[in-house]
Amino acid sequence: MNGEELIHAVQEGDLARVQELATPQNINYVDDNSDTPLLAAIFEAYNVNNDDIIRALLDVPDIDVDLHGPSTEPPIIEAFNVGNPIIIGMLIDAGVDHYQTFSDYDFSSSSLLGESMIDGKIRIVEELLKRDEFRRELVNDLEFNSDPLFTILNSNTLWINTLKLFKLILPYTTPRILNQRMTIGKTIFHEAVDYPGTTLETLQLLVEYGALPFGISAEGKSLYEDLNHLIEFSDGDRRARYTQILEYVNSITFSLRAKSLKSIVDNEIDISSIPDSLVVL
């Protein structure tokens, strides 16, 4: 049957007609505008919920889920731009080659998960992390360089996106990962303090998962020095925010030192045997 008819039925949102027309012979049709039936359905998803039509197309045998014309993007890229996690999930289940596609295109990240985090696409990140392959990708990235955490801090202008993404990602971290210094010389906690959009709730979440409120930057400045510098050269709401963070850091530090002292007393440790460089009491 005619591929043009199928694309027209898709654009009209006529599910029954799509199911009637779609066959292995026309499902991979590419029209003069570089559209395929699947791409036409994804384009329509900008304006309407047509998950049922996309599902019907993906059920057709021999569909090429990566197919696109010379002037259109691959289906996974268009679905990413639409921002619909259900469509993303259906394409992944249908075998879309998302790794190669995102590597080939000029994105800040070379992966679907990474680009979703950079763009603050919370619902897509949630959908992806339901799947083992993306959880393994995240754990691998965190284990080797912690880049996902720093990328989120420096890419999302909305603080609420940072907080939501951290809630999704921090369960896959460890205290060791959170407290290692990156190439910029800071731990994720130290970097978060410097980030203007960080809220106290974000810092509390980091501490909950094992981040320590310490650190020395590559320039040799401690977290305390950085905070006091920010307070000195800020005013109004910004000064109040940094002052609140400093008070929180002080409270956490006091609590950690109190626990250390209790451990020494409870275990009758002879602190004279501890090198001066390690004593923080």
Alpha-carbon distance of 6 to 146, in angstroms, equals 46
Least Cα distance to 179 among 142, 214, 218 occurs for: 214
Check residue 260 and give its pLDDT: 52
Q: What local confidence, expressed as pLDDT, does residue 171 receive?
A: 94
Distances in Å between the Cα of 110 and the Cα atoms of 116, 117, 251, 259 are 11, 12, 40, 43
Along the 281 residues of the chain, how does pLDDT read in single tens digits? 589 999 999 999 999 999 999 999 999 999 999 999 999 999 999 988 999 999 999 999 999 999 999 999 999 999 999 999 999 999 999 999 888 777 777 676 778 998 898 888 999 999 999 999 999 989 888 877 656 787 787 775 566 788 889 999 999 988 888 888 765 677 888 888 877 778 889 999 999 999 888 766 667 778 888 888 888 888 888 888 889 988 988 888 877 765 555 444 455 544 444 444 444 44
Amino acid making up residue 81: N
In this predicted structure, what is the pLDDT of residue 213? Answer: 82
Q: Which residues contact 54 (CB under 8 A, 6 or more apart)?
A: 38, 41, 42, 45, 87, 90
CB-count burial class (<10 Å; 0-12, 13-18, 19+) for 241: middle
Label residue 193 left, alpha or beta by phi (over 0 means left) and psi (-120 to 50 means alpha).
alpha
Residue with tokens 């609590």: 255
Q: Which residues contact 262 (CB under 8 A, 6 or more apart)?
A: none
pLDDT of 276: 43
- The residues facing 222 across adjacent strands are 216
**Can you tell me the distance from the alpha carbon of 235 to that of 227, in angstroms, rounded to the nearest whole number?**
13
User: What's the rounded Cα separation, in Å, for the pair 191 and 198?
Assistant: 10
Q: What is the CATH number of domain 1-106?
A: 1.25.40.20
pLDDT at 63: 97
Domain boundaries, the chain: 1-106, 111-157, 174-281
Tell me the whole-structure pTM to 2 decimals: 0.81
